[in-house]
Amino acid sequence: MPTHHLIGQNPARTAEKAAAYIAERAREAIADHGYFAVALAWSDELAPVYKLLAARRDIEWKRWEIFFAEERAVSTEDDLSVWHNVYETLLRRVPVREEKARPMFALGLDVASAAQEYAPLLAPLVGDPPRFDLVLLTLGRNGEMLGLHALAPALEDPLPVAAAPDPPMEPHVDRVTLTPVAIRHARHLLLVLYGGRHTRPLRMAFDDDDDRRRIPAQVLRDAEGEVALAIDEPLALSLGLPV
């Protein structure tokens, strides 16, 4: 199981703990090297986290360097767009300069070209291989992580960003995604999950026999940094964790 647990009584309290965790990691990174390099994702569970972050008054937003961990090949105005959802719940509410938030996809590109253009943006700030201060992650019901699905070629890509065309996961749209190279080296990884439906995917990630090609979330076992899990009490109890 992850090395750090943030357990809230309910989803609202869990979101508060997750937002506080992110804010603290940002303070540490800014004190250490002057900025906070974060890769953002999108899920329904992250919506309240982003709104709580936007409401905080203890964050130096001008020191944030914002990347994305995944994107869908749709317009930034589309409800499926990670950028669109993160913008509506966080970015439009905080004083982040436009050039500090780097979208992962633009119309007119295919996902392979988008991945090739995005990867070089990482090295100047997070190195090669990249070492983000924090990566927010999503977890699918079959152990998918971000745009990484079972048997995806991106699982073995040596570059930190790859295309994931025609993924067998909802929604069925091409994606650009961080690869295991970027996930492994991050200083902190954060999963935010509510409810017992996530019990099986988490057990697949941390307890099942190694099958890295079929259960992409098992890359978390290789993490060099801290893996944090923000969950509510029902999910914690289903995993056998003390609450």
Fill in the amino acid letter for 48.
P
Whether residue 62 lies inside any domain: the answer is yes
In the predicted model, what is the mean pLDDT of residues 54-67? 98
Whether residue 161 lies inside any domain: the answer is yes
Whether residue 222 lies inside any domain: the answer is yes
pLDDT (0 to 100) of residue 3: 77
Whether residue 89 lies inside any domain: the answer is yes
State the average pLDDT for the chain.
96
DSSP codes joined into one string, 190-220: EEEE-SGGGHHHHHHHHTSPP-TTT-GGGGG
Whether residue 139 lies inside any domain: the answer is yes
Residues 191 and 175: beta-carbon distance below 8 Å = no
Whether residue 121 lies inside any domain: the answer is yes
pLDDT surpasses 80 at 139? yes
pTM of the model: 0.96
> Domain count of the chain?
1
CATH of residue 82: 3.40.50.1360
Whether residue 243 lies inside any domain: the answer is no
- Side-chain-side CA neighbours of 106 within 13 Å: the count stands at 6
Q: Residue 201 and residue 205: Cα distance in Å, rounded? A: 6
Distance, CA of 218 to chain centre = 15
Spell out a b/e string for 158-190, using b for 16 or more CB atoms within 10 Å of the CB, else e. Answer: ebbbbbbbebebeeebbbbbbbbbbbbbbbbbb
pLDDT surpasses 80 at 1? no
Q: Which tens digits make up the pLDDT trace of 76-131? A: 999 999 999 999 999 999 999 999 999 999 999 999 999 999 999 999 999 999 99
**91: domain range?**
4-238
DSSP state of 127: T
Q: Where are the alpha helices (DSSP H) in the chain?
A: 11-33, 46-55, 82-89, 111-126, 180-185, 199-206, 233-238
pLDDT surpasses 90 at 12? yes
CA distances from 19 to 5, 53, 70, 99, 194 (A): 14, 6, 20, 23, 15
Give residues with Cβ within 8 angstroms of 64, minimum separation 6: 26, 35, 36, 38, 96, 100
Residues 139 and 193: beta-carbon distance below 8 Å = yes
In the predicted model, what is the mean pLDDT of residues 204-229? 96
Q: Which tens digits make up the pLDDT trace of 150-199? A: 999 999 999 999 999 999 998 999 999 999 999 999 999 999 999 999 99
In the predicted model, what is the mean pLDDT of residues 52-79? 97
